[in-house]
């Protein structure tokens, strides 16, 4: 089972969007049983809060529910419990290194590193452009799923 943890500053916009988009993609691909997907924050500011309403609405526009989400903070222990820890931007990645004490086995990356255009996921908290964030998150999650399928040898529908 592939265990993925998406991480952003507050765990109310970008990382839960990535969590629920990825859950939707793997479910539609018939692979839900092969993944455990969650999200977390690098800060404590929003702990316990649900997904930010505009992010929740953007997910709902695409038929994706984020019910039951409550923001939580990344812990050092998460490093051992997850196969991939995926940040949304460079500031998140720096905080992830600090909280986890480094990345001694190469589990950390940025979501957009899994696309043809690496960089940061647009932060709607500042831009208020939830569509741009949606596009980045979808692209990144599709890239991750494609990597997983290639890893398994499923890229052409053939399994190893």
Residues with active-site annotation: 8, 14, 123
Q: How many CA atoms lie within 13 A of 81 on its CB side?
A: 12
Q: Which string of DSSP letters, residue by residue, matches 85-111? A: EEESSHHHHHHHHHHHT--TTS-EEEG
Rounded to an integer, what distance in angstroms lies between the CA atom of residue 15 and that of residue 49?
13
Give a three-class secondary structure readout of 5-41: EEEECCCCCHHHHHHHHHHHHHHHCCCHHHEEEEEEE
Residue-level length of the chain: 160
> How many beta carbons lie within 10 A of that of residue 158, not counting itself?
8
């Amino acid at each position: 089972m592939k265990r993925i943890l998406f991480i952003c500053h507050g765990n109310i916009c970008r990382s839960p969007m990535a969590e629920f988009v990825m859950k939707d993609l793997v479910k539609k691909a018939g692979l839900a049983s092969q993944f455990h997907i969650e999200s977390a924050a690098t800060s404590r500011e929003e702990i316990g809060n649900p997904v930010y309403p505009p992010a929740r609405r953007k997910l709902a526009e695409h038929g994706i529910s984020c019910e039951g989400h409550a923001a939580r903070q990344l812990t050092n222990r998460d490093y051992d419990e997850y196969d991939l820890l995926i940040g949304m931007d460079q500031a998140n990645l720096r905080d992830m290194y600090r909280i986890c004490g480094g990345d001694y086995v190469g589990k950390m990356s940025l979501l957009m590193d899994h696309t043809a255009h690496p960089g940061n996921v647009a932060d709607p908290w500042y831009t208020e452009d939830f569509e741009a964030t949606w596009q980045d998150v979808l692209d990144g999650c599709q890239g991750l799923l494609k990597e997983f399928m290639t890893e398994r040898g499923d890229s052409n529908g053939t399994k190893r």
